[in-house]
Amino acid sequence: MLVALLGLVAVPAEAVAHGPVAPVATSYLARVRQVPASVQAKVVDGYVRMWLSVPATETVVVLDYRGAPYLRFSGAGVQVNENSSMYYLNQTPAETPPADLNAHTRPDWQQVSGGHSYEWHDGRLQALASVALAPGKTYVGRWSIPLLVDGRRSSISGGLWHADNPSIVWFWPIVVLLSCVLAAWRLGNVELDRRVARVLAIASLIAIGLADVARELHGRPSVSPTQWVELSIVAAFVAWGARHVLFGRPNYFSYFVISTITLWEGLNLLPTLLKGYVLIALPAFPARTTTVLCLACGISILWPAFRLADRRSDRLENTEGDGDPDELDLDSLFET
């Protein structure tokens, strides 16, 4: 759990210039209200990036914070102006733009894509996030990104909204389930531990499947082949795990593996319990329920797994002390 938490803290620090990497929740949400005809625009990851698609028959130029051209969409694809302040600010890590850059600086166009869509980090979507809001207010204000469409002035515009953080009550089911499992564990009944472990393992596998579907099928703005591959791998693991738990003889190691993956999925989705807007392919309530299920089952399954591990260790010690190993009943040892 500690390694997973450190990983979640470290990964966003490597991409400060471009905002959170695939965030699952946010307190602010930007929506597009107005866009030029024939141009498609979407806000990606709440209020972090803008995605734009332009027909090959049109030329659209995105202007930066100083009014200089930043991106150019045309029949040849997408080009970026390396003499734009946004070009420097969108590097990883961000770089300080030269002081002499302005709207009249000669552009230095470089090809970045042969297609007709592109996604970039745009601070104008987030500028209003620092505005203080009155209690209960959700609408923050209006944002705008200036464009040149075939040489004519235009813009993409919309609004920014804020949502309060969810109630801390969402963490209460985790405490309740853990308390119940600990109460059952204190009885010291190995058969009860096995049954509890099986039930928690099945619930964990269901939660893993839901969590991965929710994360991988959330397009940015579309679902990539890599996401489909990752989803297929997790689905195969869930299918194997369900078959092993329901029809096999799962041991403590199987439960540890299931617990680790369940906790990892829960930690990935933890922001859904801390932020107002959910950014995965599930509505807010089912998304938060899935997160609670991952965290609760992932932690709780460890206790019966520990008991089964201790029980196995004790049996092996007793077996080793019962005379010559060559005289052991191999079938009984295998059952142990």
Band (pLDDT 50/70/90 cuts) for residue 159 is very high
Task: Please count the structural domains in the chain.
Answer: 2
Rounded to whole angstroms, the Cα distance separating 23 from 251 reads 35
Give yes or no for residue 14 having a pLDDT over 60.
no
Same domain, 212 and 281: yes
Same domain, 130 and 244: no
pTM of the model: 0.78
Same domain, 155 and 191: no
Q: Is 17 part of a structural domain of the chain?
A: no
Band (pLDDT 50/70/90 cuts) for residue 5 is very low
Please state, for a pLDDT cut of 70, what percent of the chain lies above it. 86
Give yes or no for residue 66 having a pLDDT over 50.
yes
Give yes or no for residue 314 having a pLDDT over 70.
no
Q: Is 55 part of a structural domain of the chain?
A: yes
Please identify, among 127, 162, 197, the residue that sits at the C-terminal boundary of a domain.
162
Band (pLDDT 50/70/90 cuts) for residue 326 is very low
Q: What is the mean pLDDT of residues 294-318?
A: 76
Q: Is 186 part of a structural domain of the chain?
A: yes
Same domain, 91 and 186: no
Rounded to whole angstroms, the Cα distance separating 320 from 328 reads 9
The string of DSSP letters for 33-51 reads EE--TT-EEEEETTTTEEE
Please identify, among 142, 162, 182, the residue that sits at the C-terminal boundary of a domain.
162
Same domain, 101 and 229: no
Q: Is 333 part of a structural domain of the chain?
A: no
**Placement of tokens 């471009």 in the chain:** 18
pLDDT digits (tens, 9 = 90+) for 127-152: 888 887 878 889 999 999 999 999 99
Same domain, 64 and 150: yes
Which has the minimum average pLDDT: 109-118, 142-151, 190-199, 203-212? Answer: 190-199
pLDDT digits (tens, 9 = 90+) for 18-34: 344 678 999 999 999 99
Same domain, 122 and 228: no
Q: What is the mean pLDDT of residues 314-329?
A: 48
Q: What is the mean pLDDT of residues 281-287?
A: 94
CA distances to 71, 111, 116, 286 from 56, in Å: 15, 15, 7, 40
Same domain, 143 and 238: no
Same domain, 181 and 300: yes
Amino acid at 290: T
Q: Is 322 part of a structural domain of the chain?
A: no
pLDDT digits (tens, 9 = 90+) for 227-268: 899 999 999 999 999 999 999 888 888 899 999 999 999 999
Same domain, 187 and 141: no
More confident residue, 257 or 11: 257
Per-chain mean pLDDT for the chain: 85
Rounded to whole angstroms, the Cα distance separating 152 from 161 reads 30
Same domain, 250 and 280: yes
Band (pLDDT 50/70/90 cuts) for residue 9 is very low
Give yes or no for residue 301 having a pLDDT over 50.
yes
DSSP alpha helix (H) spans, 217-326: 225-247, 252-269, 284-300, 302-320
Same domain, 118 and 206: no
Please identify, among 107, 133, 162, the residue that sits at the C-terminal boundary of a domain.
162
Q: Is 7 part of a structural domain of the chain?
A: no
Q: Is 72 part of a structural domain of the chain?
A: yes
Whether the Cβ atoms of residue 24 and residue 268 lie closer than 8 Å to each other: yes
Q: Is 328 part of a structural domain of the chain?
A: no
Residue 79's domain comprises 28-162
